[in-house]
A = this chain, B = another copy of it.
Amino acid sequence: MIQPSNDNEFYELDDPTVLPKASGFLWNERMMVQATCRGYMVAQFMQPEPAKYSHGPNLEAKSFMQPEQGYYAHHPGRFVYVKDEAGRLFSAPYEPVRARPDQFLFSVGKSSLRWMTESSGIRVQMTLTLSPSDVVELWRVKITNKTPQRKNLSVYPYFTVGYMSWMNQSGEYRPELQSIVCSSVTPYQKYPDYFKNLEFKDKTFLLADHEPAAWEVNQEAFEGEGGLAFPSAVQQPFLAKGDARYETPVCIFQYQVALEPGEEREYRFLFGAAKDEAEIADVRRRYFLTKEGGLDGFARAEAEYREVIAQGKGCLTIQTPDPALDNFVNHWMPRQMDYHGKTNRLSTDPQTRNYLQDNMGMSYIRPSIARAAFLHAVGQQHESGEMPDGILLFEGAELKYINQVPHADHCVWLPLCLAPYLDETDDYGILDAVVPFAGGKASATLFEHVERGLGWLRQSRDHRGLNFIHQGDWCDPMNMVGYKGKGVSGWLTIATAYVFRVWADICEKTGRSDRAEQHRLEAQKTNDTANRYLWDGNWYARGITDDNVVFGVSTDSEGRIFLNPQGWALLGGTANDDQRRRLIQAVTDQLESPYGVEKLAPAYTKMREDVGRVTQKHPGSAENGAVYNHAGAFYIYALYSVGERQDAYRLLRKMLPGPDLDDIIQRGQLPVFLPNYYRGAYRQFSRTAGRSSHLFNTGTVPWVYRSLIDGLFGVRGCREGLLVAPQLPDHWPQASLVRSFRGARFTVRIQRQPGVATTEVRVDGRLLADGIIRDIVPGSEYEVEVSIPSAQ
């Protein structure tokens, strides 16, 4: 029913009703599409701000990508109606007719999405892929007659365009382009925007390789009284060849096809955005009219896109007792990291913490991109050391939405995300790269940029030594805690202790022992402060408000415990052994659910005025009380960092959907990406708990990947080479993996051995004293045997 296909490059779903929102996504450097099993789609491209060529039926707000995208009858989508001689109608993939298909398959692949719908012996196969860089969807629609009779069919690809503009919109068929061209001009009110908009791709086109018998460009005329499920125009022999004049445009072709038994016919389409007709003509020439080596541009683009996506592979291939884990880690996690690094979440001003973490993920797959990003980011640091709320990617981009609200945590992420980059690449030279500060007057090395960031964190503290929260920090913007300038963040204070230690290690490794010592002292001092003001007896408080109210503590009836301070207290050495036991138990008891750990509990049910915005996120609704995977991934990483491998694995496994069908159905999502959250508040609202946000923009993935590399499989880089120290869960007898690292290839076999007391690592038969493989020769292959105790 839901399964990986044979080569693990696809996930397959054979019923469009069991996971109605199951989706896959594709992207290239300029665009992103998310498509569901039923044919609904969201597509965005950058010009440079996000724009659409297929819109909702009304005036949509421009916003960041929303979780739990809702679908409705006129939601944008790509469909094919098929009508037989008797007037019987169905649509592929499933919407809008919703005729129950005899056969159905939705295949979510890395570089293509495929749908197969068969009804009364007529099979429709739809395939979507992208090109490496054009704003165009590449569609194949194949119709096959599986019956023993000749069939006369009308086939109507129906690609929605929607409400393009309140000021103007129109559409018509252009025979010389074999295209439907829908036009609008982005409205502007202030004249300077006119010049900004001049190059916009404001036209939507559907370009066909076969000349259509008829067409319709007018949504209302198409539907008539029959509506989407039985459009009046489809009830006629031919579409009316209409146009749209300030009417909602749509792209619909009609093909007449007579198919002998077993015969098939394929149509190909290009659907996308263009500036003008000349650009559409150029697209047509390049994709349909020009051949090279027997292939036209369409087929070549498909192949090139497949190749580009294949290059975004991870540095880890595993084989464990859990094939679902193998499939997810080997195929889908690197792809999701690659998406983040390549597209920056289709934003022109990614939040600083997102930008840095997304590029931390790129350290494992395309480290040169990560390198450039770290240097780009510090080029926008203020001389005070403060990092901005967002990193502008283009000339003329602006800080928008939440990036206009001051958050206090951005300086934390630079050393944190640099550390694994250095582990992976040993490119310590990056620390000496000289980059100007914002404004361009002063310059400094990256090392000094990081030092200034730490200095800013050290100074942004109250008289007790706790870090001010300003109007928010990571993950759960509690914007009323400290807006008067007094409130502090428990998490952020603990996080700075961790960051001082991380940076101290890097100082040490680059021969700066004095600095290292200084940062370690600072970490200790911070931890002492945290323990003095934030330890609540069994866990750490989340913060203290402007009015000196400590919250996230045992006396609170809502928001009693927050996950983030606990995990980071493990990472930063804040918690001693006793505290560690207590806080882990508290998390297990109060935050763990069948779908992972919740970010806070009990979820807020009403505004708490001194905490703020997080309480706008109702329980059982959005992020408040959710299993917020980004926070969960950190907690897992923290558990591995202190050797709590059983707890860590249990939570990891809950985060990654497994083969359990009930579990997948509750989450509502094919296991092809990690969403930013699963619905939480499990103890209050179990009906909806576990549901996927369906939003694949999240910093979760690199931290899970890092947990696998540094923790579970223990194949982490260090200055000397590769440190091998796996932390398999008790129930795994063995695991094996291939690790690509600094140009070499390590085949690692981990085996439980009765009689082995501690982990033994052998390379080419030779036992290593400290588990570190040194003197790695690029291009070499290493065979690594790891023996672990059977009663570990």
Interface residues, chain A, CB within 8 Å of chain B? Answer: 17, 56-63, 66, 68, 70, 72-75, 98, 163, 166-170, 183, 185, 187-191, 194, 225, 227-229, 245-248, 401-402, 404-405, 471, 479-480, 483, 607, 612-613, 616-622, 624, 679, 685, 687-688
A-B contact pairs, 11 of them (CB 8 A): A57-B75, A58-B60, A66-B166, A68-B246, A73-B227, A98-B225, A168-B618, A185-B616, A194-B612, A245-B679, A247-B688
Can you name the residue of chain B whose Cβ is closest to the Cβ of A228?
Answer: B73
A483–B613 CA distance with the chains assembled, in angstroms: 42
Cβ–Cβ contact B190 & A405, under 8 A:
yes
A65–B679 CA distance with the chains assembled, in angstroms: 36
Given A17-B225, A185-B607, A404-B190, does the pair A687, B245 have CB atoms closer than 8 Å?
yes
Can you name the residue of chain B whose Cβ is closest to the Cβ of A57?
Answer: B72
Can you name the residue of chain B whose Cβ is closest to the Cβ of A615?
Answer: B185
Question: Copy number of this protein in the oligomer?
Answer: 2
Cβ–Cβ contact A187 & B612, under 8 A:
no
- Extra pairs beyond A59-B63, A168-B617, A245-B621 (8, CB < 8 Å): A58-B70, A63-B166, A68-B246, A70-B163, A73-B74, A74-B74, A170-B621, A188-B613
Cβ–Cβ contact A616 & B688, under 8 A:
no
CB neighbours (8 Å) of A61 from chain B are 59-62
CB neighbours (8 Å) of A62 from chain B are 61
CB neighbours (8 Å) of A98 from chain B are 225, 227
Given A60-B61, A73-B228, A479-B191, does the pair A167, B617 have CB atoms closer than 8 Å?
yes
Q: How far in angstroms is the closest Cβ of chain B from A722?
A: 44
A-B CB proximity, top 7 nearest: A246-B621, A73-B73, A245-B620, A57-B72, A168-B618, A72-B74, A61-B61
Q: Which of B187, B189, B688 contacts A404 (CB 8 A)?
A: B189
A68–B169 CA distance with the chains assembled, in angstroms: 12
Q: How far in angstroms is the closest Cβ of chain B from A204?
A: 15
A687–B218 CA distance with the chains assembled, in angstroms: 13
Cβ–Cβ contact B63 & A75, under 8 A:
no
CB neighbours (8 Å) of A620 from chain B are 170, 245-246
Can you name the residue of chain B whose Cβ is closest to the Cβ of A679?
Answer: B246
Q: How far in angstroms is the closest Cβ of chain B from A22?
A: 15
Q: Which of B189, B401, B618, B679 contacts A189 (CB 8 A)?
A: B401
A168–B67 CA distance with the chains assembled, in angstroms: 11
Given A66-B59, A191-B479, A616-B185, does the pair A168, B72 have CB atoms closer than 8 Å?
no
Given A73-B73, A404-B190, does the pair A622, B227 have CB atoms closer than 8 Å?
no
Cβ–Cβ contact A194 & B248, under 8 A:
no
